[in-house]
Amino acid sequence: MNISLVLQMAADTLPDRIALTNNGVHYTYGRLYASANAAAARFAESGADYVSYLGESGPAMVVALFGAAMAGKPFAPLNYRLTGPETLRLIERLSPVYLIADTDKVAEIPAGAAKVLVSVPDFLKSVVTDEAEPFPAPEDDDEAVAVQLFTSGTTGEPKAALLRNQNMLGYVLGSVEFCSADEDEAALTTVPPYHIAGISAILSGIYAMRRMVQLPSFSPEAWLKLCREQSVTSAFVVPTMLSRIIGHIDDTGAPCDLPAMRALAFGGGKMPLPVVQRALTLWPNINFANAYGLTETSSTIAILGPEDHREAHNNPDPMIARRLDSVGKPLPTVEIEIRGDDGTVLGPNQLGEVFVRGPQVSGEYQGRKLTDEEGWFPTRDSGFMDDDGFLFLAGRIDDVIVRGGENMSPGEIEHVLREHDAVDDVAVLGVPSVEWGETPVAAVVLKHGASASEAELKDLVRQKLRSSRVPERILFVDALPYNEMGKLLRRNVRDLFNA
Amino acid sequence: MQLKAGTKLHSAVCDTDVMVIKGTGDVNITCGGAPMTSARGPLGELDAASAGGTAMGKRYTNEDQSIELLCIKPGKGTLAIDGVPLEIKAAKPLPSSD
Half-sphere exposure of A233 (CA within 13 A, CB side): 11
Looking at chain B, which residue has its C-alpha nearest residue A301? B97
Looking at this predicted complex, what is its ipTM?
0.93
Cα(first)–Cα(last) distance of chain A, in Å?
A: 53
Query: Any CB–CB contact under 8 A between B88 and chain A?
Result: no
- Which amino acid, A30? G
Which of A12, A93, A102 is closest to A60 using CA atoms?
A102
CA A48 to chain centre: 28
pLDDT of residue A155: 61
Contact B15, B74 (CB under 8 A): yes
Q: Report CB contact under 8 Å: A178, B57.
A: yes
Interchain contact B21–A (C-beta under 8 A): yes
Q: Is B96 on the interface with A (CB under 8 A)?
A: yes
**Separation CA A70–CA A4 (nearest Å):** 6
SS3 B78: coil
Q: Please list every residue in chain A whose beta carbon sits closer than 8 Å to the beta carbon of residue B95.
A: 263, 265, 287, 289, 303, 305-306
Interatomic CA distance for residues B81 and B88, integer angstroms: 14
Chain B residues inside the 8 Å CB shell of A287: 95
B95 → closest Cβ in A289, A332, A359: A289
- Length of chain A equals 499
- Nearest C-alpha neighbor of A354 from the set A331, A370, A377: A377
Per-residue pLDDT of chain A (499 residues; tens, 9 = 90+): 899 999 999 999 999 999 998 887 899 999 999 999 999 999 999 999 999 999 999 999 999 999 999 999 999 999 998 989 999 999 999 999 999 999 999 999 999 999 999 999 999 999 999 999 999 978 778 899 999 999 876 666 789 999 999 999 999 998 999 999 999 999 999 999 999 999 999 999 999 999 999 998 899 999 999 999 999 999 999 988 999 999 999 999 999 999 999 999 999 888 888 899 999 999 999 999 999 999 999 999 999 999 999 999 999 999 999 999 999 999 999 999 999 999 999 999 999 999 999 999 999 999 999 999 999 999 999 999 999 999 999 888 888 899 988 888 898 899 899 989 999 999 999 999 888 999 999 999 999 999 999 999 999 999 999 889 999 999 999 999 988 778 888 888 999 998 7
H-run or E-run covering A34: helix A29-46
Is this model's pTM higher than 0.95 or not?
no
Q: How do strand A391-396 and strand A377-385 relate by DSSP bridges?
A: antiparallel
Do B18 and B60 form a contact (C-beta atoms < 8 A)? yes
Cβ(A482)–Cβ(A488) below 8 Å: yes
Distance from CA of A197 to the nearest CA of B (A): 7
Which parts of chain B are beta strand (E)? 2-3, 8-10, 17-22, 25-26, 29-31, 34-35, 59-61, 68-73, 79-81, 84-85, 87-88
3-state secondary structure of A463: helix
**For residues A218, A223, A225 and A227, what is the CA-based torsion angle, rounded to 10 degrees?**
140
Among partner residues B56, B93, B98, which is closest to A200 by beta-carbon distance?
A: B98
d(CA A169, CA A167): 6
Q: Which of A12, A176, A305 sits opposite B73 (nearest CB)?
A: A12
A498 — alpha (psi -120 to 50), left (phi > 0) or beta?
alpha
A142 and chain B: CB distance < 8 Å anywhere? Answer: yes
- Asked if A177 and B8 come within 8 Å (Cβ–Cβ), the reply is no
CB A10 within 8 A of CB A80: no
Question: A293, A295, A329: which is closest to A309 by C-alpha?
Answer: A329
